[in-house]
Structure 1
Amino acid sequence: MVEKEKVKVSAMLTIMSAEMSFNRADGYVGQVEFTLEGHKNPYAITLQKSRKAKEWSYGLHFSGEPGSEDELFAAEDLIEDNDELYEQLVEAAKAKLSQREEEDSEA
């Protein structure tokens, strides 16, 4: 279940929701919905990291209604060029996995 909570992470990035799961077959799989300052439509980034991989892979798409292809390409360029922004997206998803693991251990 995706929790809806907006968190302004930086001047340009606001996290709307995040989730992540882990299983032995797929490794880590997560999704973060977010907005970027100056962009009309929200985005979703799907993150994946197998147990053996050293790097995260991702797919970027619009969350909900499609928007401008130019803005999508600009968002992708920003993610590629700004390691801090990318790490904030990954950390938002990882935090939800840790939170869920803590809740499961308390049950």
Structure 2
Amino acid sequence: MKITILHAQMTHDQENGYRGSVQFEAEGHKHPYEISLQLNSLRGTTWDYSLLFAKEPGSEEQINEVEAAIESDDDLFDSLIDAAAATLPDEEGEES
């Protein structure tokens, strides 16, 4: 599935771990999506996520298609995580 990133962000703190979101479009889909991501380092190394439409409701069939792609395509999921992680400030307080 081909996607286009529209906006991404991520924060990190000791209490909540890594939390981020990515808005993106999927090729051939009418409405953009948003995925919320969370990695709590106290619980392990598995990302939790929630997928929804970014602006207005769309087709249940299409969101299910995106959900299936995220579940089955590690490269797709990693690209969403990477887009959010790229917005984290580096050690000097600037975005990387």
SS at match of 1:101: coil
| Runs (5+) with no aligned partner, structure 2 | none
Q: Is structure 2 residue 6 aligned with structure 1 residue 16?
A: yes
Alpha-carbon distance, 1:12 to partner: 0.9
Q: Render the CA deviation track for 1:63-100: whole Å, top value 9, x for unaligned.
A: 01110111111110011111100000000001101xx2
For residues 1-107 of structure 1, the aligned pairs below 5 Å read 12-52=2-42, 53-97=44-88, 100-101=89-90, 104=93
Distance 1:39 1:81 in 2: 19
Given the two structures, how large is their TM-score scaled by the length of structure 1?
Answer: 0.81
User: 1:86 & 1:61 partners in 2: Cα distance?
Assistant: 15
Higher helix share: 1
Shift of 1:103: 5.9
Unaligned 5+ runs, structure 1: 1-10
Amino acid at match of 2:68: D
User: Alpha-carbon deviation of 1:55?
Assistant: 1.0
With structure 2 as the length reference, what TM-score do the two structures score? 0.90
Distance in 1, Cα, partners of 2:24 & 2:81: 12
Q: Percent identity?
A: 42
Higher relative contact order (CA 8 A, sep 6+): 2
The RMSD of aligned alpha carbons is 1.5
Length, aligned pairs only: 93
Deviations 1:15-69 (A, max 9, x none): 0010000111110000000011011100000000001221111000000111011
